[in-house]
Amino acid sequence: MAKSDVPETAPMSEAEYADQLKRATLASSLGSALEYFDFALYGLCTALIFNTLFFPQDNPAMATVASFATFGVGFIARPFGGLIFGRLGDIIGRKWVLVVTIILMGGASTAIGFLPTYDSVGMLAPILLVIARLVQGFGAGAEQTGSSVLMAEYAPVKQRGFFAALPYIGIQAGSLMASVAFFLLTLMPEKQLLAWGWRIPFLASFLLILLALFIRMHLRESPTFVELKANDQVAEHPLKELFSTGMPGLVAAFGMRMAENGGSYMLQTLSMSYVVAVAGSNADRGVLSWGVALGALVGLFTVPFSGALSDRFGRRVIYRAGSVFLLLFAFPAWWLLSLGNHYIAVAVVTLGVGFGVNFMLGPQCAMFPELFGARHRYLGVAMARELSAVVAGGLAGVLGSYIIAVSNANWMLMGVYMTVLAAVTTLSTFMVPETAGRDLTRLEDAVRLPENERGDVTTRVPGVADTLGYQSVAASN
């Protein structure tokens, strides 16, 4: 019998499980790399290329503003993608949603490489760019969530933190690839760059799509969802379940994202704007951008390392270590940035992102799927990640820029802002029980409503211990 003919419910041998675990890791990592390659590349092109090619040039400043608006459109679409595909992931399965999201996300990115410019078709050019960005963000809204859920449900229980963190290496790798690709583009003569050179990396992303799609099509559904389906436990209305019983976990996860997502945005983006404001005409944006690249390079090691540490010492203590690091780092970091020294700024960003942010990101990969019950896990993680990103990352850009503008780049106010984000996350880690080793076939959330506020729920998928021979069932907190 060919591998493609093997029923999803057929028991896996140890060798088959090892092969599927490898496929799941590759499929998830490639998707993450593609998502962040496109995200970072689009951001780098926004102010230097798209503003010139896709908008009228009678007012260059407004063209740049309009270009950044198309960048923001992707963030608006992400929560909607998370809601729709998160719901589908709990109804039809993790695998097939990830197949759809990689097609949507990668297809839109490749399409950008084919778009006509303003000189060719006028206002149709920015309209097409916005549509492509909306589709890209719509698919990305559930891509990262699906990768973490799939890996958490596939991973060996005692090494779940490490394996679930592996796809997030793709985030770091994608950011690095985009930085290198953009640097190589800037070596081209400007005429060739604007004529056709900028299209190359967007078109090249098609190769990543094909590879990720091939691997995902040959991947079996996650063991947890297979058991849900086999025992007729798949939720018909996961959104209703999430908002009726899963709100405590959703609120806790939302709070835990404040320092990780908001702190990341402050360090990787606002810090550069801040140093430019302080240094003025002496600012060298090229040198400052190396902080982001080096932070991503460090993250290639600290994300899986912190995930592995969470397997040994628990998710909460490692997550809390990252948030406390940022809590203590906030004021010294912004004071150092206020000196206007480019190389000190690079060191600050590298240290803050590489260790503070990534020591939360590593355990988060397994912790968030462990917070939610099996019937609404995909949707729960998607809503926690995408809604919090609007508040943490989106507000950080607007509010942070406003503080810099009205306070004459007062470092203490920026330090207060980051301290508040870190404090919220630190407190949120006390709202959840330890989730390491939690049985992912359980149907209730780790953070539960009081007994009189929730309906009766089956403890876990019946009969799972007999069919999941390759995955031990751990005790739940």
Residue with tokens 């397997």: 311
Looking at residue 434, its pLDDT comes to 94
- pLDDT given at position 292: 77
Query: Backbone phi, then psi, for 188, in 5-degree steps?
Result: -75, 155
We find that the CATH architecture of domain 15-221 is Up-down Bundle (1.20)
The Cα 417–Cα 164 span in angstroms is 30
Sign of the C-alpha dihedral computed for residues 465, 459, 388 and 108 taken in this order? positive
For residue 118, what pLDDT band results from cuts at 50, 70 and 90?
Answer: confident
pLDDT of the residue at 25? 84
pLDDT at 170: 81
Q: Give the pLDDT confidence of 33-79 residue by residue, as tens digits.
A: 877 777 777 766 766 678 788 878 776 766 666 666 666 677 788 88
- Residue 380 confidence class, pLDDT cut points 50, 70, 90: very high
Question: In sequence order, which residues have a C-beta less than 8 Å from that of residue 128 and are 6 or more positions away?
Answer: 115, 116
Q: What's residue 47's pLDDT?
A: 60
Tell me, yes or no, if the two domains 15-221 and 235-432+441-446 fold the same way: yes
pLDDT at residue 430 greater than cutoff 90: yes
Asked which of 35-49, 86-100, 190-204, 374-388 is least confident by mean pLDDT, the reply is 35-49
Determine if the pTM surpasses 0.75: yes
Write the pLDDT tens digit of every residue in 134-181. Answer: 888 888 888 888 888 988 998 899 999 999 998 888 877 887 787 778
Alpha-carbon distance of 378 to 89, in angstroms, equals 6
The whole-number average pLDDT for the span 124-130 is: 88
DSSP string of 307-372? HHHHHHH-HHHHHHHHHHHHHHHHHHHHHHHTT--HHHHHHHHHHIIIIIIHHHHHHHHHHHHHHS
Q: Which of 58-67, 107-116, 252-261, 297-306 has the least mean pLDDT?
A: 58-67
Helices (H) and strands (E) in the chain, counts: 24, 0
Quote the CA–CA distance of 86 and 154 in Å, as a whole number.
Answer: 18
CA distances from 19 to 5, 161, 322, 363 (A): 16, 19, 33, 24
Domain extents in the chain: 15-221, 235-432+441-446
Any idea which residue has 């939302």 for tokens?
Answer: 254
Average pLDDT over residues 337-347: 90
Q: What is the pLDDT of residue 230?
A: 84
260-280: average pLDDT: 83
3-state SS class at 460: strand
CATH superfamily of 235-432+441-446: MFS general substrate transporter like domains (1.20.1250.20)
